[in-house]
């Protein structure tokens, strides 16, 4: 379920940031990224922090982590909650606390805290995976921001559910040579896509993605786009643009 399908700076109640829920047959929910508008996007589908027991973080931009303070404080001080499980790559974990969350979360009345004060932290090794809800979710390193010295850690996900292989890009540049193998292996692809007239260099743009082979485009859904008029993605060979609240059931009959 896409709680939102917009870009980082999407505004208004018609769309939210591209955070998602992966829901299994037991109704367990894995929140994939937790951006600044997560309170609103959860509320829009009748949910709240009470429903969030498991979180995956792909990288440290605020549309992916900006709602963690809300989840952390709300869960810590609500006796109905256990610490949520937090899954993230090992190279993100320390920076997430030291550079992003500690400013607001480090001090509570009578104590100094750490990331582990709020979450059950599961650090994933290089080229690793984590198990959740009967699924094995494999981290895929993507090229999102290159600052000239190193790549900002950022990870998509590749997993198989009911025999359907799924690739979720999270945020990445257009790098077919780098992650093309996952395009080929997947049965369905969810890919971030800039549609802005003034494209940034850190996301795949529509004009780039449209150059992909037809065999790739016809299994690709696009999300993370800017407000405004959208190209005719279906006419160009894609599955379409994801809409806020849209859900996908992973079964062979639903791929047609």
Q: What is the pLDDT of residue 256?
A: 62
Q: Is residue 144 part of a domain?
A: yes
Q: What is the pLDDT of residue 33?
A: 98
Q: Is residue 100 part of a domain?
A: yes
Ranges of residues in the chain with a pLDDT under 70 are: 256
Say how far apart CA 91 and CA 59 lie, in whole Å: 10
Say how far apart CA 192 and CA 253 lie, in whole Å: 25
Q: What is the pLDDT of residue 254?
A: 77
pTM of the model: 0.97
What's the total number of domains in the chain? Answer: 1
Q: Is residue 86 part of a domain?
A: yes
Residue 66 maps to which CATH number? 3.60.15.10
Say how far apart CA 24 and CA 63 lie, in whole Å: 24
Q: What is the pLDDT of residue 251?
A: 85
Say how far apart CA 158 and CA 136 lie, in whole Å: 9
Q: Is residue 85 part of a domain?
A: yes
Q: Which helix (H) or strand (E) holds 91?
A: helix 90-95
**Which of 224-239 are b and which e, b meaning 16 or more Cβ less than 10 Å from the residue's Cβ?**
bbbeeeebebeeebbb
Q: Decide: 191 and 221 in contact? Cβ < 8 Å.
A: yes
Q: What is the pLDDT of residue 13?
A: 74
Q: What is the pLDDT of residue 252?
A: 81
Q: Where are the beta strands (DSSP E) in 52-154?
A: 54-56, 85-89, 107-108, 111-112, 120-124, 129-132, 135-141
Q: Is residue 117 part of a domain?
A: yes
245 is in which domain, residue-wise? 20-255
Q: What is the pLDDT of residue 64?
A: 98
Q: Is residue 232 part of a domain?
A: yes
């Amino acid at each position: 379920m896409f709680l939102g399908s917009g870009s980082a700076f999407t505004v208004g109640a018609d769309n939210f940031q591209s955070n998602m829920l992966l829901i299994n047959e037991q109704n367990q929910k894995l929140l994939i990224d937790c951006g600044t508008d997560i309170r609103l996007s959860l509320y829009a589908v009748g949910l709240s922090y009470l429903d969030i027991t498991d979180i995956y973080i792909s990288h440290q931009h605020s549309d992916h982590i900006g709602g963690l303070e809300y989840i952390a404080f709300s869960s810590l001080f609500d006796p109905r909650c256990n610490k949520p499980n937090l899954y993230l790559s090992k190279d993100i974990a320390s920076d997430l606390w030291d550079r992003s969350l500690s400013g607001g979360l480090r001090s509570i009345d009578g104590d100094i805290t750490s990331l582990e004060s709020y979450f059950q932290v599961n650090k994933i090794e290089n080229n690793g995976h984590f198990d959740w809800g009967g699924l094995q979710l494999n981290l895929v390193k993507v090229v999102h921001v290159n600052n000239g010295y190193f790549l900002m850690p950022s990870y998509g996900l590749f997993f198989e559910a009911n025999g359907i292989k799924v690739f979720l890009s999270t945020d990445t540049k257009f790098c077919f040579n780098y992650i093309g193998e996952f395009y080929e292996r997947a049965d369905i692809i969810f890919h971030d896509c800039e549609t802005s007239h003034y494209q940034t260099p850190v996301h795949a743009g529509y004009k780039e993605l449209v150059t992909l082979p037809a065999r790739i485009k016809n299994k690709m859904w696009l999300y993370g786009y800017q407000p405004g008029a959208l190209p005719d993605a279906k006419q160009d060979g894609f599955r379409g643009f994801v809409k806020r609240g849209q859900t996908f059931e992973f079964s062979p009959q639903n791929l047609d």
